[in-house]
Structure 1
Amino acid sequence: MRVFVVASFVEALCWFVPRLPIAGESLAASRLEVGLGGKGLNVAVGLHRLGVEVDALIGCGRDEAGERLLRVLSAEGLHTRHVHRFEATSSGRGAGFIAPEGQSAIAVHPGANLLLTPAHVERAAEDLERAQLVYGQFEASVEVLTAAFRRAHARGIPTVLNPSPWQEPPAALRETTHTLVVNEVEASRLLGTAPSSLEALRPSLPALWASWPECQRLVVTAGERGCLAFERDGDALQAPALPVSAVDTVGAGDAFSAGLCAALAEGAPLREALELGNACGAHVAARIGVLEALPRGRPHISSRTR
């Protein structure tokens, strides 16, 4: 079982604050955590820890953060043949504010992530074409992501897109995406309506399927309310969240994506994929940090999908 990840890497600085600040407000943080992350790196490491063979395409700087990335990948047992280091700019940087209940607000500067080109995808083509699934997100260059999805789609390899941080996906991605994974904010922008329930979203689905002709399923994560999923053939599922005390939700969505993609890559039913995604997301939300919080092995699943 193999997944190719169009990844991203950032050095993340997270401030723990009494509540999320409003515009123009300064708050005193109780502590600062500095670690390595990035949506693509998180998913790649999460997949690997779930027993999946992973090929990750990553851009980073020739800086200390890039050196730390190489050390982390080596310690995790992930190869680095598709990690490209650039002199022109620094590695990506991220900043997050974490409230006591685990809610977060995040900003990312992509840095070297945006220096990858479709030529790097071509160099990785042999590994990409061996994958059972290709995953991508919008901390990577859309141009690179499009090249990877086109190659995967042409060879019948399913693709999973998390369009985060949100931007309007170009037609080339809409024509090569098999599964969409979005949170509530992204779902509102994608569908033009708040994803409050299965029934609330149904009227928006025909337009979605029409503009995303190859998309077979939409998955919407909703934090403590679990997730919703729709398949093009009309089936819909709602998977309740596992009961945990959230302390840091940064990376919980990436952990969900790792669990979802691991299950889909091995051919599991969508029901099982949602359950594993929820279990991985809950595991991270109940712990401080992201890479250090990603589960090693498949976490216990105690809730059943309705």
Structure 2
Amino acid sequence: MANKKFDLVTFGRSSIDLYSQNIGADFIEIKGFDAFVGGSPLNIAVGASRLGASVSLITGVGDDKIGEFILNFLKKQNVNTDTIAKIKAARSSAVVLGIEPPDRFPLVFYRDNAADSQVTIDDVIAAHVGDYRILEISATALNIEPSRSAVFYAVEQAIENNTEVVLDIDFRADQWKDVRSFGLMVRALLPKVKIAIGTEEEILAATLESASQVSIEHQQISAPQIKGDIEESIQKIIHAGPEILIVKRGAKGASIYHKDGWKKDVPGFPVEILNILGAGDAFASGFIFGYLRGWDLYKSCRLGNACGAWVVQKPGCANDMPYYDELMAFVDSRGGLMGNEKETIQHH
């Protein structure tokens, strides 16, 4: 990557996240909530900053107390907030979340007139995307104008200035009037992307042919059930443009697919799960940090897997992202970044 002033700028959602204090309780029985911050790009920004990268976040917050809450947290995490727009006519986003281990994590979005959807092309111009080594985009920012056009403009600016583009195929079904339009927007962006990252469900969502393929149980917006052929969908994504596709596979780790036709599986770090929300963002922060340091894809994914494993043991997302020293102590106690895996490459 070319020499740049800064490492990473992320683009998309930011919110105040209200997490259940009563872990294991049914949502209707929750007695209280802890106030954290969230949104996929915000989580990734905080995670990468805690590991040691220089990071900014392009998003919008309302000119309100929740906006101040979000900005105050980010400043304490050494995330540059000069690229965050304060929007008087909009509200900072909010999310309310339940924690019912091992497999229920319901959530409710409050995003009517959301400030983070009001980011404009002018806000992108002011952010100077070309000053960064990597631009990371959240696909949810493609769901509505003006943020949709701002995303495409940011990507254009990145390409013109030799800034690499990473796309998080972030799928939140209730944020799209027609879930098929999610795939249309993602596929339109993929030819401009160097690396795409997504879960199996998000990759299936990006290649949907029918809304009937999507079902959500127990209001688990972040973990929909999507019918489809995952290997076929992976090939569609790869052929659409990105050089590299990283498939996040939870406790199983991740898989690297390269446009040249090779695949590599990267094992995870087995841990006891408390809360899966934010684990994918933790993975992205670790992967991107390793990639920024010049590590190969396997080692970068292992660091990503370690970050994900760290966060699933915690109640929060951004608030519980690991710092570098504690993460490496965790990794070293579980076989190191390379583990016992042989460096073999599978062709597909």
Report TM bin, short chain. 0.7 to 0.9
* Kept in 2: contact 1:17–1:30 (CA 8 A): no
Deviating more after overlay: 79-88 vs 45-54: 79-88
1:183 maps to which of 196, 199, 206: 199
Matches within 5 A, 1:198-277: 201-210=230-239, 212-213=240-241, 215-277=242-304
Alpha-carbon spacing, 1:296–1:79, altered in 2? closer, same or farther (3 Å): same
* Kept in 2: contact 1:7–1:39 (CA 8 A): yes
Alpha-carbon spacing, 1:282–1:30, altered in 2? closer, same or farther (3 Å): farther
User: 1:80, 1:189 → 2: CA distance?
Assistant: 32
User: 1:205, 1:70 → 2: CA distance?
Assistant: 37
Deviating more after overlay: 250-259 vs 90-99: 90-99
Q: How many residues are aligned here?
A: 292
| 2:122 is aligned with 1:116 | no
| 2:67 is aligned with 1:40 | no
* Kept in 1: contact 2:245–2:256 (CA 8 A): yes
Residue in 2 that maps onto 1:3:
8
Deviation digits for residues 128-171 of structure 1 (CA, Å, limit 9, x no counterpart) = 21211110103433322211111112233211111213522425
User: 2:82, 2:196 → 1: CA distance?
Assistant: 28
Normalised TM-score (structure 1): 0.87
User: 1:82, 1:259 → 2: CA distance?
Assistant: 22
User: 1:146, 1:107 → 2: CA distance?
Assistant: 28
Alpha-carbon spacing, 1:30–1:241, altered in 2? closer, same or farther (3 Å): farther
User: 1:268, 1:48 → 2: CA distance?
Assistant: 17
Question: Among the aligned pairs, what percent are the same residue?
Answer: 23
Deviating more after overlay: 268-277 vs 34-43: 34-43
Residue in 2 that maps onto 1:96:
97
Deviation digits for residues 265-290 of structure 1 (CA, Å, limit 9, x no counterpart) = 22211001100100011111111112
Alpha-carbon spacing, 1:169–1:121, altered in 2? closer, same or farther (3 Å): farther
- Structure 1 segments, 4+ long, off by >6 Å, are none
* Kept in 2: contact 1:256–1:281 (CA 8 A): yes
Residue in 2 that maps onto 1:154:
160
Deviation digits for residues 47-78 of structure 1 (CA, Å, limit 9, x no counterpart) = 11111011211200011111112211221222
* Kept in 2: contact 1:180–1:217 (CA 8 A): yes
* Kept in 2: contact 1:191–1:204 (CA 8 A): yes
* Kept in 2: contact 1:37–1:291 (CA 8 A): yes
SS class of match (1:224): helix
* Kept in 1: contact 2:204–2:233 (CA 8 A): no
User: 2:79, 2:206 → 1: CA distance?
Assistant: 34
Residue in 2 that maps onto 1:168:
183
* Kept in 2: contact 1:17–1:27 (CA 8 A): no
* Kept in 1: contact 2:18–2:97 (CA 8 A): yes
* Kept in 1: contact 2:203–2:234 (CA 8 A): no
* Kept in 2: contact 1:163–1:169 (CA 8 A): no
**CA RMSD of the aligned region, Å?**
2.4
Q: Counterpart amino acid of 2:238? A: W
Normalised TM-score (structure 2): 0.77
Q: Counterpart amino acid of 1:112? A: A
* Kept in 1: contact 2:16–2:37 (CA 8 A): yes
Alpha-carbon spacing, 1:108–1:139, altered in 2? closer, same or farther (3 Å): farther
Deviation at 1:9, TM superposition (A): 1.0
Please, which runs of 5 or more residues in structure 2 have no aligned partner?
Answer: 1-5, 142-146, 173-181, 214-228, 343-348
User: 1:238, 1:92 → 2: CA distance?
Assistant: 36
Deviation at 1:186, TM superposition (A): 0.8
User: 1:207, 1:292 → 2: CA distance?
Assistant: 35
SS class of match (1:35): strand
User: 2:263, 2:159 → 1: CA distance?
Assistant: 25
User: 1:3, 1:77 → 2: CA distance?
Assistant: 13
Deviation at 1:204, TM superposition (A): 4.5
User: 2:104, 2:285 → 1: CA distance?
Assistant: 20
SS class of match (1:209): helix
